[in-house]
Structures are given as C-alpha cells and as structure tokens.
Amino acid sequence: MIEAAIFDMDGLLVDSEPIWQEVAIEIFETVGVNLTIEMCQEGTGLGTADFVKLFYERFPWEGKSQEQVGQEIIERGHERIATETLPMPGAHDTVRFFHERGIPLAVASASPMEIIETVLRRLDLVQYFTLWHSAVLETRSKPHPDVYWSTIEKLKVKGPHCVAFEDSGNGLRSAHAAGMLTVAVPAPYEYDQPKFDIADIKIPTLTHFNEDIFNNLVQKLPL
C-alpha cells in the first residue's frame, strides 16, 4: 500500500509561480538585471538562494548581496501570496482523495516554512497534512533529494512506498533521487520536455488524477 503522499507546493497545489516570477523580475531590476518570464522559468523548482545564484553567475551585479536579493524576493513574494494566490485545479480533490483513504500527506517545498504555512492556511488545506518541510532547512535544495529524505524520515515511512507530486523538472529529479514513485504535473509550456520522462505518471493537471492512476501507482510498488 502507498504509505504517504508528498506534494510540492508552488505551481502544484497553489498558483504562485506567476507571483514569484513577477517579484523576481521586480527585485532583479533593482540591481540592473532584466529578467524575462522565460528566464524565470529556467529556475522553476529551485530554492530562492539557488535561483539568485543562477542569475548572479550569469549577470554579476554590485550594490546588493545575493542574500539580500533573495530575502527581498521572499519578503515581497510572501506578502502577495498571502493575499492573492488561488489553488491549482484539482488540488483540493487530490488532497482529499488521499486523506479519505487514511494515507498521510506532507508538503516538501523549496519555499520557506512560513510561506508553506501561509499557503496551506489560505487554501484551507492545513488540516489534511501531517507535516510540511522546507528545503531551506536542508544543506542542499531541489533538485537534490534532501528535502524528501527528511520528509520521509519525519513521516517514518519508506521512500519506495511513497508517491511524490511535482510540477517542475528540478522537483521531479529531487523526488526521483529519493527513490519515490512520482507523478509529474508539468506546466503547459514544458509538458512535452524529456526531463519529465523519469516520472512514473505524467498528467496535465491534478484534475486528471483518479482511481485508475492511483491503482496504477499501487501496482508499481515494490514487493
């Protein structure tokens, strides 16, 4: 049986990616770096520190440290997420699907803990989750598996008997490296990219998740 369902958050449970992109573009403008939405999409699934590092290495700037730029992105993003975000299609139904079957749920996100909590409360999902964990608390963020390893350990379950839901290539690599079953839910602009081929299941939105897909995942569990 599936022992736990672990969800990414940004772009999967909550439609926050456009907000993070807007905020990143605004903050990077203050150091003279002109990001585009397409450039922001390159860093989807990375933690804020790794996202900032990615573009600092490409466009070194002066006047603000990478840490300061990252903190400004987090603070402004948190303000907007707390008041503007909406759930992704199918998020509530998929969460309730596992909850109704008595399967523990967790969030493993690259966002800071306070933002995870803000989102779960805003979407009225917090009561369904056993725990949530942030890659900010790990030495390495996604695409490394650390945040999933810690989440599995906290849940006291075995990785190969868990399913992870991810919308980004970096997140999928993280869950896959942790040895979990994976469901990829890519954004339309990258749905057909080969980086999602490592997923056990790929669906366009969480609205496509159903009993048949669940049973397919169960059949993939190790003996």
Q: Which residues are catalytic?
A: 8, 10
d(CA 162, CA 98): 12
**Burial (0-12, 13-18, 19+ Cβ within 10 Å), 211:** exposed
**Cβ contacts of residue 80 below 8 Å, gap of 6+?**
19, 22, 23
What is the Cα–Cα distance from 2 to 147, expressed in whole angstroms?
19
Query: Residue 201: helix, strand or coil by DSSP?
Result: strand
Strand partners, 208: none
> Which region, left, alpha or beta, applies to residue 156 given φ > 0 means left and ψ of -120 to 50 means alpha?
left
